[in-house]
């Protein structure tokens, strides 16, 4: 199977991430998607002997993940796992997700709220996640505890959905799950530990949180009310 | 409308028309985008020649003076134009994203040591550029 590692200026963290993954999962193919880094992330990925998709300029997290998923789809991987390049995910949590896909899930999510005593983020993050959980439940009837999780395992149908031209390509979170539900994909959730990200540009941090919440809210409504044709090629 | 004003604004409108036509002729402006600008320029000409038309529209929408009608519709027009550009930009953004991903994927395919290099046919002899 394929592990997609989106990385934007992660030269400081990539070594550790790849090392951990290799240690825990020696049989997986590791694909680093370099999202227009300027700190030699691509060079490092090459030196670490990873597969590499090098975007010509910075496209953003969602588009980087999507590029990796397209790579997996074209090579016919039965499972593609998305695993953030900043070291916040734990390779030990990958196997339950893969197992969920083998048992029929099209998209399996790692949730930090199903694992006890883990990092839950600050007050605002928790409130935001709760809000989106509730919204997601209202829109789809799904009870997912951690829709913003970046740790996912995708079966072939999940990969096809993530590769759609009109797939939400900023930060595919709750909106992606609404789309998955509309496309009648089977979703599953498994516990996952999330470590405090050592990322300088954590994507939900600081003043961008408000803009993020607003964008996600709009994107959710678009995903819920979008045209049927968005679910096809 | 005094004749001096008429001549002044007509000159501007005609120059605008010529600039648009020249841009299209030089392929700087795509033909499918040019009709909008041609229509704008022709509307200006029409408004200059038929000021009574503007007064008629002013009565129709219930405005008091023709200048407010003119400004209202100009601003509305510009707002719709920017909306149109936002739509075009959204399309272009998606297309650029798809292209960038495609370039990256193709480059990964062609330079990858993971694919059997023997499967690649040898480069054909280079034809001299004519």
Strand partners of residue A107: A154, A187
Exposed, middle or buried by CB within 10 Å (0-12, 13-18, 19+), for A197?
Answer: buried
A35, A43, A56, A60, best to mutate vs chain B, most B CBs in 10 Å: A56
Termini Cα distance of chain A: 24
B51 pLDDT more than 90 = no
Name the residue among A51, A70, A166 with its Cβ closest to that of B101: A70
* pLDDT score recorded for residue A206: 59
Which one has a higher pLDDT value, A133 or B93? B93
pLDDT over 80 (residue B115): no
Check B94 against A166: CB less than 8 A apart.
yes
pLDDT score recorded for residue A26: 94
Q: How far is CA A32 from the centre of its chain?
A: 13
Is the Cβ of A165 closer than 8 Å to some Cβ of chain B? yes
Q: What percent of chain B has pLDDT over 90?
A: 52
Residues A88 and A119: beta-carbon distance below 8 Å: no
Give the pTM: 0.80
A9 touching B (Cβ < 8 Å): no
What is the residue-averaged pLDDT of chain B? Answer: 85
What confidence score (pLDDT) does residue A153 get? Answer: 96
Highest mean pLDDT among A100-104, B19-23, B113-117: A100-104
Handedness of CA A83, A212, A124, A189 (dihedral sign): negative
- Torsion angle (degrees, nearest 10) of CA A73, A7, A194, A4: 20
A170 and B CB contact within 8 Å: no
The answer to whether A187 and A162 are in contact (CB under 8 A) is no
Give the closest of A51, A67, A166 to B101, CB-based: A67
Please say if the pLDDT value at position B126 is more than 70. no
pLDDT category of residue B112 using cuts at 50, 70 and 90: low
Please indicate whether, in this complex, the C-beta atoms of A51 and B112 are within 8 angstroms of each other. Answer: yes
Chain B residue with CA closest to A164: the answer is B98
What pLDDT shows up at residue A207? 66
Give the C-alpha separation, A15 to A19, whole Å: 6
Angle (CA) A6 A8 A12, round 5°: 105
| Sequential pLDDT tens for chain A (233 residues) | 999 999 999 999 999 999 999 999 999 999 999 999 999 999 999 999 999 999 999 999 999 999 999 999 999 999 999 999 999 999 999 999 999 999 999 999 998 888 666 555 667 777 777 777 788 888 778 888 888 888 999 999 999 999 998 888 777 777 888 888 889 999 999 999 888 765 544 555 556 677 777 777 888 888 888 777 777 76
**Residue B117's pLDDT band (cuts 50, 70, 90):** very low
Q: How confident is the model at residue B130 (pLDDT cuts 50, 70, 90)?
A: very low
Q: Give the three-class secondary structure for A193.
A: coil
Q: How much is the average pLDDT of B34-51?
A: 88
User: Is the complex ipTM more than 0.90?
Assistant: no
Nearest-Cα distance to chain B for A49, in Å, is 10
Asked if the Cβ–Cβ distance from B94 to A59 is below 8 Å, we say no
* Contact: B104, A55; criterion CB under 8 Å: yes
Residues of A in contact with B107 (CB under 8 A): 53-54
């Amino acid at each position: 199977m394929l592990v997609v590692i989106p990385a934007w200026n992660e030269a400081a963290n990539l070594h550790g991430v790849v090392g951990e993954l290799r240690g825990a999962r020696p049989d997986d193919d590791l694909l680093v998607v370099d999202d227009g880094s300027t700190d030699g992330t691509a060079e490092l990925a090459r030196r670490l002997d990873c597969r590499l998709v090098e975007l010509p300029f910075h496209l953003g997290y969602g588009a980087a993940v999507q590029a990796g998923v397209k790579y997996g789809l074209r090579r016919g991987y039965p499972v593609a796992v998305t695993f953030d390049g900043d070291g916040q995910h734990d390779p030990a949590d990958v196997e339950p997700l893969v197992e969920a896909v083998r048992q029929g899930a099209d998209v399996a999510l790692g949730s930090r709220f199903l694992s006890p005593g883990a990092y839950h983020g600050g007050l605002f993050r928790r409130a935001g996640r709760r809000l989106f959980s509730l919204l997601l439940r209202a829109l789809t009837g799904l009870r997912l505890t951690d829709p913003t999780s970046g740790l996912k395992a995708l079966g072939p149908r999940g990969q096809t959905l993530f590769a759609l031209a009109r797939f939400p390509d900023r930060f595919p979170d709750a909106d992606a799950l609404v789309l998955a539900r509309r496309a009648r994909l089977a979703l599953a959730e498994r516990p996952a530990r999330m470590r405090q990200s050592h990322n300088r540009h954590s994507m939900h941090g600081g003043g961008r949180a408000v803009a993020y919440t607003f964008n996600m809210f709009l994107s959710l409504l678009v995903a819920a009310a979008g045209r049927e044709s968005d679910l096809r090629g | 409308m005094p004749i001096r004003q008429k001549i002044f604004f007509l000159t501007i409108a005609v120059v605008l028309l010529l600039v648009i036509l020249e841009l299209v002729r030089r392929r700087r402006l795509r033909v499918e985008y040019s009709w909008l600008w041609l229509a704008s320029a022709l509307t200006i000409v029409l408004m200059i020649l038929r000021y009574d038309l503007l007064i008629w529209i002013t009565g129709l929408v219930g405005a008091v003076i023709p200048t407010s009608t003119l400004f209202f519709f100009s601003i509305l027009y510009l707002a719709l134009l920017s909306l149109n550009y936002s739509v075009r930009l959204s399309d272009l953004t998606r297309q650029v994203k798809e292209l960038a991903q495609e370039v990256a994927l193709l480059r990964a395919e062609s330079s990858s040591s993971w694919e059997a290099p023997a499967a690649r046919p040898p480069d054909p002899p280079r034809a001299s550029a004519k």
